[in-house]
Chain A
Amino acid sequence: MNGAQALIESLLQEQVDHIFGYAGATICPVADALKEHPEIAYTLVRTEQNAGHMASGYARISGKVGVCMVTSGPGATNLITGIATAYMDSIPMVAITGQVPSHLLGRDIFQEVDITGAVAPFSKHSYLVKDANDIPRVVKEAFHIASTGRPGPVLIDIPIDVQEQKLKGEFSYPEQVNIRGYKPSVKGNELQIKRVAEAIARAKQPLICAGGGVWLAHARDELLELAEGCSIPVVKTMMGLGLVPTDHPLNMGMVGAHGNHCANQALAKADLLIMVGTRAADRAMVDPVDIQRRMATIHIDVDPAEIGKNMQAAIPLVGDVKVILRQLLDRDIPVTDSATWLERLKDYRKAELSRQFPRREGYVFPGTALRRLGQRLEEDAVVCVDVGQNQIFACKYLPQKSGRLLTSGGLGTMGYALPAAVGAQIAAPHRQTVVVCGDGSFQMAMNELSAVRAEGLEIKIVLFRNHTLGLVHQIQSRSPYHGPFGVALDGSPDFETIASAYGIPSITVSDEDKLDGALDSFLGEKGSCLLICEVHPDVGTND
């Protein structure tokens, strides 16, 4: 057995059933080994970045580690944005890169880059494998590191000669990992649990802020149980969207700079903030110092470094979010006396949900389209949202049921949605999968319509066409800037023709009276479909 075969054997041990990748000379031995194993499916992307995003979408929906694999040099550098995007959102991922022969490392030979060095700032860990006999251990460790504690991407860089190297003796896969410097905390400190329970019981105006860490810990049920059991309203960060359905009485929407007004009102008036699986970053907690001053704070997170990084919490609680929530639930915290508080919030919520959107002849307002789209989606639909105004509108106004909303929250990577949707649908072929994007972000990823076609996927793509890089257009239209520059999407193709070239039908709508009919035919289409909504370029996210 050679190193490449040992790699595939190890991936099988990790129950890998799909790899997203791109070919190249230095990864050929692995391709050759993979060819013998049809139980691992392979999707050829059209640019390596999207292998990362597909693996991300796959990981977020399957709950498993996403795997991508590319060649050395330009293949590896193209993947960097995919890795960084996954890192910022703590997505469990293993990225495998081919590398030039180990005896030539450091000589700048054809297609050599120091990829482990390049990704150091935004990967959880990386390996440069120098001996094929290490491969089983390295793969075992990589999957363990990627998926435990605070998840994240791990890179394995394998020189081609190591892929070809014969292993000594039989292949054997380690049962356990033992990394002395890596022991993530799981259980919460009992004393702190007690303090948290007491603080909750005392609070009159408690508020939970739930982030992506709740999804990562698979702790949605526990979160809802705590919120419902103690009558605590919930705001979510962008990464926490979908944890509480829109029509849930305790749902207060998305908090932060681009969030719902009702969520920010709740945050402004709370007397206790319980942050769960969130890093309290700038977009969600616009003024952490002010929050700290005004209310008691509890911070529950698996990563001790997040506690006190952006906000100094009064009561920190480190450990696995699911385990900690269970520990709290086991304490039978009394229902908080929050009736008046909830009553007040109900009014804020009602105002937000009945918010009237502007109408403009010949155009569709994104908020209007998203509201009506959301009402029509299946209970567990997966909606992948890109970056820009389309992201803000979708995160604010798309009604959520018990499905998922996947977006690039931390890095804000345009072009994330379509490849993420490909990965998501491969992970869950029977779930309705929808993409929401702008005409700028779609053009960053539309080459992946090939994957949609090749895999026979059914992805419904909503494209807001405003002929501009809307969010930047909006920023440039306000002080201190002097008007849009370099954002007009001149020369964009006819997206209807592009879609049809991939065998995908499309519908264009520019009249809100025709929106319902258009949405019905769009969602009713068997197979993929593109819905283009004509949006006025001057639309703003606060309209």
Chain B
Amino acid sequence: MKQTISVLVENRAGVLNRITGLFSRRAFNIESLAVGVTDDPTVSRITIIVDSGNSVVEQVEKQLNKLIEVIKVRTLEENTFIGRELMILKVNANNKTRQDIMTICEIMGAKVDDISPTSMTMELSATPEQLDTFQAMMRPFSILEVVRTGVIAVQKGGGKI
């Protein structure tokens, strides 16, 4: 089962290294990982998605907590958080296909960032599942490049970790 772990860490060199190192040596698999500084410049937030059972996730959480530079760890419960991922996708496009691509973009809410006689580049911020759908819809046009940021997440409501 996919689970989302939100981690607050010291914004310092080497911290990310310790976190990813922990995952590899304990044989925990990372699906995605996204890092960015928070409103407090000394703190970064890392959102990690793991695809594992509950007991593994509990161990991940405890092992993360043991790292000195980890300030807080929370596994976000399903449906209690907003999770988004950004994708930038480039496809082959010509006079014949451009309109069809545009239609899909409109349906999915993707924004066109760049266009050339032979290609189109779009961005879409959505849930990972929606991105998967968009990507699948673009595949017939022949995708040139895709880049995804990994999910970032915050809890719904007034709560914070």
A residues contacting B by CB (< 8 A) are 116-117, 120-121, 124-125, 128, 145, 179-182, 303-305, 308-309, 312
Contact = CB atoms under 8 A, between A and B. Distances in A.
Contacts of B55: 308, 312
Nearest to B59: A309
Given A116-B14, A121-B21, A303 B68 contact: no
Nearest to A121: B25
B100 interface: no
B17 A120 contact: yes
Given A120-B18, A305-B65, A181 B10 contact: yes
B71 interface: yes
Interface string B78-90: 0000000000000
A181 B21 contact: no
Given A121-B21, A309-B62, 15 more contacts: A116-B14, A117-B17, A121-B25, A145-B68, A179-B68, A180-B10, A181-B10, A181-B72, A303-B66, A304-B65, A305-B62, A305-B66, A308-B55, A308-B58, A309-B59
B14 A181 contact: no
Interface string B7-49: 0011000100110010001000000000000000000000000
B51 interface: no
Contacts of B62: 304-305, 308-309
Nearest to A180: B71
- What 7 pairs across the A-B complex have the smallest Cβ distances? A305-B62, A181-B71, A125-B68, A121-B25, A182-B68, A181-B70, A120-B21
Contact of A181 (B17, B25, B68): B68
Contacts of B18: 120
B14 A128 contact: yes
B63 interface: yes
Contact of A305 (B21, B59, B68): B59
A58 B18 CA distance: 29
A305 B60 CA distance: 9
Sorting the interface of chain B by its residue count into under 10, 10 to 19, 20 to 34 or 35 or more gives: 20 to 34
Contact of B63 (A179, A180, A305): A305
Contacts of A125: 68
A396 to B, nearest CB: 32
A233 B41 CA distance: 54
Residue from B10, B62, B63, B68 having most chain A Cβ neighbours under 10 A = B68
10 contacts: A121-B21, A121-B25, A145-B68, A180-B10, A181-B10, A181-B72, A182-B68, A304-B62, A308-B62, A312-B55
A124 B22 CA distance: 12
A513 B14 CA distance: 62
B18 to A, nearest CB: 6
B59 A181 contact: no
Contacts of A145: 68
B63 A181 contact: no
B136 interface: no
Nearest to A306: B62
Contacts of B68: 124-125, 145, 179, 181-182
Nearest to B70: A181
Interface in B62-108: 62-63, 65-72
A117 B14 CA distance: 9
Contacts of A303: 66
A58 to B, nearest CB: 24
Contacts of A128: 14
A308 B56 CA distance: 10
Contacts of B9: 181
A187 B110 CA distance: 53
B58 A181 contact: no
Q: Which of A124, A303, A305, A309 has the most CB of B within 10 A?
A: A305
A308 B59 CA distance: 8
A304 B63 CA distance: 9
A308 B63 CA distance: 12
Contacts of B59: 305, 308-309
A180 B66 CA distance: 12
A147 to B, nearest CB: 14
B2 to A, nearest CB: 21
Contacts of A305: 59, 62-63, 65-66
A125 B21 CA distance: 13
Contacts of A116: 14
A120 B25 CA distance: 10
Nearest to A305: B62
A117 B21 CA distance: 9
Contacts of A124: 68
A424 B158 CA distance: 55
A120 B69 CA distance: 13
A88 B9 CA distance: 25
B62 to A, nearest CB: 4
Nearest to A130: B13
B61 to A, nearest CB: 9
Nearest to A124: B68
B63 to A, nearest CB: 6
A268 B53 CA distance: 30
B34 to A, nearest CB: 20
A201 to B, nearest CB: 30
A380 to B, nearest CB: 34
A375 B154 CA distance: 64
A279 to B, nearest CB: 13
A117 B15 CA distance: 11
A121 B17 CA distance: 11
B4 to A, nearest CB: 20
A120 B66 CA distance: 13
A523 B67 CA distance: 46
A124 B18 CA distance: 11
A253 B129 CA distance: 57
